[in-house]
Amino acid sequence: MVSVAVVAVGASTVAALPAANALPVGIGPVPITFELNDSNGNWFDSGLNLFGGRSLAVAELPRLGTSALDGNIIPSLPAGTLGLGGLNAQQSGGLLNLDLVNSLTGLVTDVTKPAPALGSLTGGLADLLNLDSTLAAVKNIAATQPKAAASAAKAEGLLGQFQAQVASLPADAPINLNDLPVGLDLQRALNDLATFAIKGPAVTADFKIASPNNQSLHDITSLIRPEGAPFFEQMGAFAGEDSTQLTEPGLYAWTCTIHPYMLGATVVDDPLTIGLDFGKNLQVTSRNLTVPSTADVIQQLVRIFFTATVPDNWQKYSTTSASQWNPVFPPAPILQYDQNGNPVLIPLLDAYYDRKFGYPKNLDQLSPPKTPGVGEVWIDTQMEEYSSKDYVGAATKVNVENWTVDRKISGSSINMNNPHNMWTDQDYKYLYQTEWFDDELSVFDRNTGAHVRTIDVGPDPSHVMTRTDTDQVQVAINGGTDVVELSPGATKIDRRLPVGPPGANQAPQHPHAFWLTADGKTTLTPNVNPYDATVLDNETGTWKKEPTGELPIATGAMSDQSKFYMADFLGGSISCVSLGQDACVNPSGQKVHNSSIDLWENYDPVAGRNGTKPWGGLTIQLPVSPDDKALLAANTFSATVSVINPKTDKIVKELPCNAGCHGINFGAKKGGGYYAYVSNKFSNAAQVIDIDPNNDGDISDAAIVGQLVLAPTADTKMDGSLSGQPGMGGQGVLPIPLVYNGWSQKVPEPWRSKLTAQQLNPIG
């Protein structure tokens, strides 16, 4: 069981939890605190160490008489006090069955075979289903309110019957409580007790963003919340403190919309229910969804949460052998509700997800494409850890002519913080590198890896590109409202270009993965905060707005400058915007100024995917191939790459990617054509896609032709000491030479002679 220390609060005792084994549990006025952090796995640091992740907290909904500490008995507690309510050390450790992790995880080793029965598992049903906590609440009500004694005695007897009736059921299968002989009677008995144990004050969730944990700004936005609970968001990136009230039992999750894989969550448990409450209906910040808590979209998001926030759950591929990927989820009992309002108990979340998602999964031994590429590809392995610096991340170079990991630039000498995206100059002398969790753009010598200079540009610089006409450097200030334009070589800031209304009373725009048109005259920004796009005239500095879907995060543009696309991260869609005459194609096949590609056409958020038809979601980078043949979109939600025909704006097919599918960019394939390199945040490997393997103009045969492990080898040149997560955190992708229209015509020698005439002039 989890061990805790205790400190006195008045006449009561409140547990003070050691950081190494913390389990934060709030109740009523006692808050849960998340300290946001720039480090792996504890971006929302709750203090709970869950298999190496620290982004989950648990709270108890205060009810009169169910514990020794609730809002009706002790209305206030000293500031900074962490309370466990009536939960003692053993009960607090048992909420998520953390004390039984080794015996209650990995129960499903083969999805073709049945899981063990609940009654056969270590720990006993009272512990693993949290029946002991429910029983304690029932007994406390009887002790404090004599009128409730008869109802409490009835509930106590029914809890015993419940335990007997579920003992023979499999550990991985949901249990509809109303289908059990005792189910309806038990629910009525607990509901009767709830009339005596009225709800107390809301649980408070505090958020802190401050140095030294954070070197720049973040924001916090509700991603999931129980129906009826307040929506919470900041209207801009900030440093400081804020809080929200958790008013209903159920699942709450938040994200930083600037760094959207930063996730935090709390389960607020009603002590008079069986299992940890997910709530009856949950509101999802996507498409204005309200769904039952059994909905597929909820299970997918919870799966992604534990994949992202627990580094031990990340995928580890090898070039020498096959392996297995078996992420671990809390072996906790979870109470959900189906679309008919029936209570459904998930006995053990880990076993249920193993069955639902088919874990463990086989990871193949990886090999590169048979046909080489041209030049090199740089991928930001943003989660790599170095003992020679305080912050994570490196820029990783792969020689795509022999498929070797040639170099890693960790920026140890400058303490480089979360490198996110890269570009180069017209002479390929420099590597421009953004530090996404900081305020800086760093410049390195591309050949030697030596640090050249670092310049302050503004909070959370995300993406960087160069103009084809002037070679000036543009950087999106993700935590602000500007695109910063710097001189060639990034020696100084030439100007700041607003992409939306400036001023203290205006919400920051938070531009992210922008794109420059082939002539260098126009910058296209996705604005995360106002949910729109900006078309910025670089000659005049003026801008106009275009509509998008929810939380546009990345841009792709046609080489012929006819239209551009926006990845609607929370919208499950891709927005298309024409730059001149109508060029977007709507679902009816008509050319229009604006249109949308629905990535959820074959996905029902309650029932799940429609067979094997393509689907996507949480889409990030989406480049158009230099020859305008294909649009590729990386989908974190579905772990797929959508292959889209830009002539019709129709999805042609999907290809698999890895956990945290994130970045894509195109480079030259030897002899002609293009490779798309796909990075993955929670994997150490990158995919290589050939959009037209036989070069017949038909992209329906687009395929993954190889995969690359991004971990260093003995021959990799390094500027720091790698201490953990080798090859992990793939985000920005930069193939060199630059083969997009406008850049390709200016490729210098000796690179130029390696390209075909078509690669030098991709659209003629």
Q: Which of 393, 478, 424 is nearest to 734 (CA)?
A: 424
Q: Where are the alpha helices (DSSP H) in 239-327?
A: 296-309
Q: Residue 335 corresponds to which tokens in the numbers above?
A: 């109470």
Give the residue among 107, 70, 30, 104 at the shortest CA–CA distance from 266: 30
CA distances from 637 to 305, 609, 764 (A): 11, 12, 37
> What are residue 759's phi and psi, to 5 degrees?
-65, -30
At residue 157, the 3 state secondary structure works out as: helix
Which residues on neighbouring strands pair with residue 687, listed in sequence order? 678, 707
d(CA 578, CA 219): 31
Residue 201's pLDDT is: 81
Nearest-angstrom CA–CA distance, 467 and 523: 9
pLDDT over 90 for what percent of the chain? 82
Given this model, what pLDDT does residue 742 score? 98
Q: How many Å apart are CA 229 and CA 225, to the nearest integer?
A: 6
CA angle, 51 as apex, 238 and 462 as ends, to 5°? 30
How far is 225 from 124, CA to CA, in rounded Å?
Answer: 32
> Rounded distance, CA 317 to CA 364, Å?
7
pLDDT bracket for residue 77 (50, 70, 90): very low
Residue 745 has pLDDT above 80, yes or no: yes
Backbone angles phi, psi at 694, to 5 degrees: -100, 5
Cα pseudo-dihedral 534, 535, 538, 543, rounded to 10: -70
Q: 5 phi and psi, to 5 degrees?
A: -100, 160
Number of residues in the chain: 764
Q: What is the pLDDT of residue 71?
A: 39
Residue pointed to by tokens 């390094």: 718
**Residue 211 CB neighbours (<10 A):** 8
Enter the tokens of residue 610. Answer: 């429609």
Which among 255, 291, 274 is positioned nearest to 55, based on CA atoms? Answer: 255
Q: Please, which pLDDT band fits residue 68 given cuts at 50, 70 and 90?
A: low
Query: Alpha helices, DSSP H only, in 145-182?
Result: 149-166
pLDDT of residue 101: 83
Looking at residue 29, its pLDDT comes to: 55
Determine the distance from the C-alpha atom of residue 131 to the mean position of all C-alpha atoms in its chain, rounded to a whole number. 33
Inter-axis angle of helices 131-144 and 149-166, to 10 degrees?
A: 170
Whose tokens are 């990030």? That residue is 620
Q: For the chain, what is the mean pLDDT?
A: 91
Provide φ and ψ at 596, rounded to 5°.
-140, 140
Q: How confident is the model at residue 74 (pLDDT cuts 50, 70, 90)?
A: very low
According to DSSP, the β-strands at 591-592 and 584-585 are antiparallel
Please tell me the distance from the alpha carbon of residue 375 to that of residue 751, in angstroms, as a whole number: 7
In whole angstroms, give the CA distance from residue 658 to residue 435. Answer: 24
Query: What's residue 58's pLDDT?
Result: 85
Residue 264: closest CA among 342, 209, 211: 209
Q: What span, in angstroms and rounded, lies between the C-alpha atoms of 417 and 199?
A: 45
Q: How many CB atoms within 10 Å of residue 764?
A: 9
pLDDT grade for 23, boundaries at 50, 70 and 90: very low
Mean pLDDT, to the nearest integer, of 523-541? 97
User: Are 361 and 324 a contacting pair, CB within 8 Å?
Assistant: yes
Question: Which residue would you say has higher pLDDT here, 266 or 101?
Answer: 266
CB atoms within 10 A of CB 736: 22
| Predicted pLDDT of residue 20 | 31
The answer for residues whose C-beta is within 8 angstroms of residue 520's C-beta and 6 or more apart is: 467, 468, 469, 470, 538, 742
pLDDT at residue 505 in the model: 76
The string over 356-371, giving b where at least 16 C-beta atoms fall within 10 Å of a residue's C-beta and e elsewhere, is beebbeebeebebbee
Q: What is the pLDDT of residue 198?
A: 86
3-class SS letters over 727-747: CCCEEEEEEECCCCCCCHHHC
Are 442 and 433 in contact by the 8 Å Cβ rule? The answer is yes
CA distances from 173 to 127, 327, 510, 553 (A): 18, 18, 43, 37
In this predicted structure, what is the pLDDT of residue 496? 97
Structural tokens at position 405: 């990991």
Let me know: does 111 contact 42? Beta carbons within 8 Å.
no
Tell me the three state secondary structure of residue 520: coil
Mean pLDDT of 573-598: 98
pLDDT at 2: 27
**∠ CA(260), CA(398), CA(403), 5° rounding?**
125
Q: Return the closest-CA partner of residue 419 out of 380, 378, 477.
A: 380
- Residues 6 or more apart whose CB falls under 8 angstroms from that of 313 comprise 51, 53, 306, 307, 327, 328, 682
In this prediction, residue 69 carries a pLDDT of: 52
Q: What CA–CA distances, in Å, run from 24 to 1, 55, 81, 664?
A: 15, 11, 11, 39
pLDDT band at 84 (very low <50, low <70, confident <90, very high): very low
> Average pLDDT, stretch 286-313?
97
What mean pLDDT comes out for the span 75-82?
38
Which range (63-72, 73-82, 95-104) has the least confidence? 73-82
Q: What does the pLDDT look like over 236-255, one tens digit per residue? A: 999 999 999 999 999 999 99
Structure confidence at residue 91 (pLDDT): 44
Structure confidence at residue 21 as a pLDDT band (50, 70, 90): very low
| Residue 625 in this model has a pLDDT that exceeds 90 | yes
Q: How crowded is residue 754: how many other Cβ atoms within 10 Å of its Cβ?
A: 17
The residues, any chain, with a CB within 8 Å of residue 638's CB and separated by 6 or more, are 603, 615, 616, 617, 654
Lay out the sheet containing 563-568: strands in order across.
552-557, 563-568, 573-578, 594-598
Query: What pLDDT, on the 0 to 100 scale, is given for residue 76?
Result: 39
Alpha-carbon span 222 to 220, nearest angstrom:
7
* Residue 374 CA to its chain's centroid (Å): 32
Contacts of 87 (CB under 8 A, 6+ apart): 25, 60, 67, 95, 133
Tens-digit pLDDT profile for residues 125-174: 998 999 988 998 999 899 888 999 999 999 999 999 999 999 999 999 99
Between the ranges 57-66, 504-513, 635-644, where is the mean pLDDT highest? 635-644
One-character DSSP codes across 368-409:
--SS-BSSEEEEEETT-EETTSSS--EEEEEETTTTEEEEEE
> What are the backbone angles phi and psi of residue 447, rounded to the nearest 5°?
-80, -40
d(C-alpha 724, C-alpha 379), whole Å: 17
CA distance 242 to 70: 23
pLDDT: is 502 or 648 the higher one?
648
pLDDT of 310 over the 80 cut: yes
pLDDT, residue 63, reads: 85
- Check whether 75 has a pLDDT greater than 80: no
Reply yes or no on whether the pLDDT at 633 is more than 60: yes
User: What is residue 57's predicted lDDT score, i.e. its pLDDT?
Assistant: 86
Low-confidence winner among 31-40, 98-107, 356-365 (lowest mean pLDDT):
98-107
Kindly provide the residue ranges of all beta strands, DSSP E only, lying in 569-710, ordered along the sequence: 573-578, 584-585, 591-592, 594-598, 603-604, 608-609, 631-635, 640-645, 650-656, 661-668, 674-680, 685-690, 703-709
Confidence class of residue 17 from pLDDT cuts 50, 70 and 90? very low
How far apart (Å, rounded) are the C-alpha atoms in residues 309 and 306? 5
Instruction: State pLDDT tens for residues 499-518.
Output: 999 876 788 999 999 999 99
pLDDT number for residue 268: 92
